[in-house]
Amino acid sequence: MTIRDASAEWHGTLKKGSGRLRLGSGAFEGAYSFPSRFENGPGTNPEELIAAAHAGCFSMALTAMLGAEGYIATDIHTIAKVHLGATSAGPTITRIELETQANVAGLAADDFERLAQSAKAGCLVSRALAGVATITLKANLVTP
């Protein structure tokens, strides 16, 4: 089975320290800090990387679902919004909103919605994030 890895390092205290996140492939490396995670400071954060992973996984899952029914999307664009909130357990990912738009010739809107919902439920990252209380999907079909 495939194994993917990433690493993180941190220096200093929680609020004054900083760190770096690195993908094992070398495709991305970025700084993160308390302000970039819990405020609007510069840098990235784990939740942003989760959003990127979820958007990418969902888009590929939707492509697979469409292909299984004989459709090919000329393009799929997905945005994932990861909401970080406070709970009694502490900071928690409370909600993820997926928004996708796909250009697929010859596909009815209700069939697109069905396939998009199946992709949301079946994508590996959605399943890995099953502990998130709410994952929503807004799907928009664009036909040529």
The predicted model scores a pTM of 0.93
Task: Give the Å distances, CA to CA, from 31 to 52, 105, 108.
Answer: 16, 41, 44
Kind of pairing between the strands at 90-104 and 134-142: parallel
CB half-sphere exposure, 111, CA atoms < 13 A: 14
How far is it, in rounded angstroms, from Cα 94 to Cα 31?
Answer: 24
In 12-133, at which residue ranges do the beta strands (DSSP E only) sit?
Answer: 18-23, 29-33, 73-87, 90-104
> How much is the average pLDDT of 3-16?
97
> How much is the average pLDDT of 94-110?
97
Res 142 pLDDT > 80: yes
Work out the pLDDT band at 4, boundaries 50, 70, 90: very high
